[in-house]
Structures are given as structure tokens and as C-alpha cells.
Chains A and B, each alone.
Chain A
């Protein structure tokens, strides 16, 4: 079954304790992306990647890191989490065809992070 898998689904942690949210897709997609969703603000893109070792900033990259060492995985790293990073996070993937992302993105089920 084609899917985007995020882990963990829920996490409560404390300020400053490094954490990683994993994202894996089994569709051989080139494009992967991370979003955060906050009430009243909609979805905002954090980082995206067009292929292995190719990443770029979205609209809200501050406080986050990503890596793309393998095509299927795109982990989101919070080196020193703060309460303002409490949010619902989604990972997504898509084909990258003819020089652009022109296919719909497949979203994971989301990760709810609470940082105290």
C-alpha cells in the first residue's frame, strides 16, 4: 500500500530536549516536504526536498533542520525545541516530473508535538 509514514504520532517533551520526527515514503517519490498546522494559520511549509541531498527552506524554517540521505526518508529535527514549536506536523511526498511538482502530494497522518 502506498503510504507516507510518520513517527511518532504523538509526543510530549520538554524545552531544549532534541527530538527527531521521522518520515518515510514507499512510492519512490523525489519530492518530500514538511508542514506545520496551527489554528488560524493554516499549513505552513517548513522545508522541502527535491531529491537526495537537495533541500530548501519553506516559509518557516527557523528552529528546524532536515536531511535527505536516502530517497525514502526525510526526518525533521528539532535541535532545541521551544514551546512555540508545539504544533501538528505533516510530512508529504510527491513525484517530481518534468522539472516541477505537478502531481498531488500524499500526506502522512500527522505528528502532534507538545513542547512544555
Chain B
């Protein structure tokens, strides 16, 4: 059974700083998604990572995937207040189309 652990669960950071959110998962997965959720809103897709070593960047966010280490990271560069949200990772469960979400990282960027 696939288990997903995100760290940290809560992150308070200052504008302009860098930080990384980690997503560890327990069994083989061939794809991993990152989503963003604003308070009271639905989920918005950020990245889809489909292979070992995949790296994708959009603005101040960069996601990477290491399938051998069963680890994905979401790196935030020079944070701004607009990035305040909850971020979820979700690896696909190998051999099926099940998707397992991490508990989410609530990011607060303070001026």
C-alpha cells in the first residue's frame, strides 16, 4: 500500500526567502503530481512529473522527481505572499490508476 509523507506540514516563511517542501512515498510510482489549494477553493494542478530526474519549473516554483529515492521536492524561490496556499503531492500507485495524496503543506508567506 502506498504511503505518502509530506514535510513540513506547516511552513511560515518571509517574502524573498527560499524553501523546499519534501514528498516521500513508500512504494514504486511512475508519476507524481503537485497541486495547490487556496483556502475555501478547489485544487489547481501545478506539475506532472513522469520520469526519474524530471524537473519542471513555473515562475518561483520548481518540482523534481527522484523515483529511485522515492522523493519529490517542490522548491520555492524568493517567496511572495501570493504563494500562500496548501500544496499537495500525489504519487500514482504503480500498476493501477489510484492516486494517493499527501496530507498537504500549508505555506504562509509573510511580508
Option from B31, B44, B88, B98 in Cβ contact (under 8 Å) with A42: B88
Give the docked Cα–Cα distance between A35 and B99 (Å): 10
Interface residues of A in 90-109 (CB under 8 A from B): 90, 92, 96, 100-109
- Chain A nearest Cβ from B36, distance in angstroms: 11
A29 within 8 A of partner (CB): no
A7 within 8 A of partner (CB): no
Interface size on A, residues (CB 8 A): 28
Q: Which residues of B contact A35 (CB under 8 A)?
A: 101
Chain B interface helix/strand/loop/mixed: loop
B103 and A41: CB pair below 8 A? yes
Give the docked Cα–Cα distance between A56 and B88 (Å): 23
A102 and B31: CB pair below 8 A? yes
Given contacts A100-B31, A104-B45, A104-B48, contact A45 B103 (CB under 8 A): no
B12 within 8 A of partner (CB): no
- Chain B nearest Cβ from A73, distance in angstroms: 18
B33 and A105: CB pair below 8 A? yes
Given contacts A31-B97, A56-B96, A101-B97, contact A42 B45 (CB under 8 A): no
- Chain A nearest Cβ from B25, distance in angstroms: 13
B88 and A90: CB pair below 8 A? no
Closest to A92 in B: B43
Q: Which residues of B contact A56 (CB under 8 A)?
A: 96-98
A50 within 8 A of partner (CB): yes
A106 and B45: CB pair below 8 A? yes
B104 and A42: CB pair below 8 A? yes
